[in-house]
Amino acid sequence: MSEPISALNGAIYNQGIAEILALDPIGMISIRGDLSAGYLKKPIKKITGLGMPEMRGINLNGQTGIAWMSPDETLLICTYAEVGAHLDTLQNSIGSNHALAVNVSDARAVFRLKGKHIREVLAKLAPVDMSPENFAVGTIRRTRLAQVPAAFWMVDAETAHLVCFRSVAQYVFDLLKTAAQPGSEVNYYKR
């Protein structure tokens, strides 16, 4: 089988106010259906060890996690290699119920932003209040980044992960590089 390679193959930018890294492919399973139903909650608990996230929440446990995407959609995050097994677990549990679990890993590109100015880098590109009070660790935000859809969440105080469609990976990388260019600190969010 061919090697999975990310859209930008590990591109990195570290000359600016934040380090932008195109991560190697991670596993992502999009789950749609009634999020309060046991046939979705149980397999998610089994796979991640985590409960269904609150509205706009993301529960993370190392490499795995579960994110709230909309009132009827969640995103399961895992390692790339585990997707097949997790998908089987989900499909078995869903059975004939009206719900959907689909592997979307290859449709996406993932970036890691690192540094003390990442809130500013994101705030320059997305119409989001990035203040630490409003956007804390444990929340995910689906929004737009300049002209394309994206979603991001804080992993810790100085690390954020961002996912976008694979087809716009280069565009997003260029955006992030521009927003993080040297000397562009705004120092709006006092830490």
Partner 1 sequence: MLVLTCPNCGITAEETEFHAGGEAHLTRHGPGASDDDFEKYLFMRDNPKGVHFERWRHVYGCGKWFHAARDTMTLEIFGTYTAQTSTVPQDIIDKITDRRPDWQKSDAR
Instruction: Out of 56, 112, 114, 177, name the contact with partner 1 by CB under 8 A.
Output: 56
Using the contact rule CB under 8 A, the part of the chain among 14-22, 43-51, 67-75, 179-187 near partner 1 is: 67-75
Q: Which of 23, 13, 22, 21 is nearest to 184 (CA)?
A: 13
Closest distance of CB 59 from partner 1, Å? 17
What number of residues does the chain have? Answer: 191
Alpha-carbon distances, residue 100 vs 29, 40, 82, 96, 191 (angstroms): 10, 10, 18, 10, 42
Binding track over 147-176 against partner 1, x by CB under 8 A: --x---------------------------
83 versus 176: smaller Cβ distance to partner 1: 176
Nearer to partner 1, 148 or 155 (CB): 148
CA distance 185 to 191: 13
Q: Which is nearer to partner 1, 86 or 166 (CB)?
A: 166
Residue 136 in contact with partner 1, rule: CB under 8 A: no
**In whole angstroms, how large is the CA radius of gyration of the chain?**
17
The reply on whether position 62 binds partner 1 by CB under 8 A is no
Beta bridge partners of 77: 28, 65
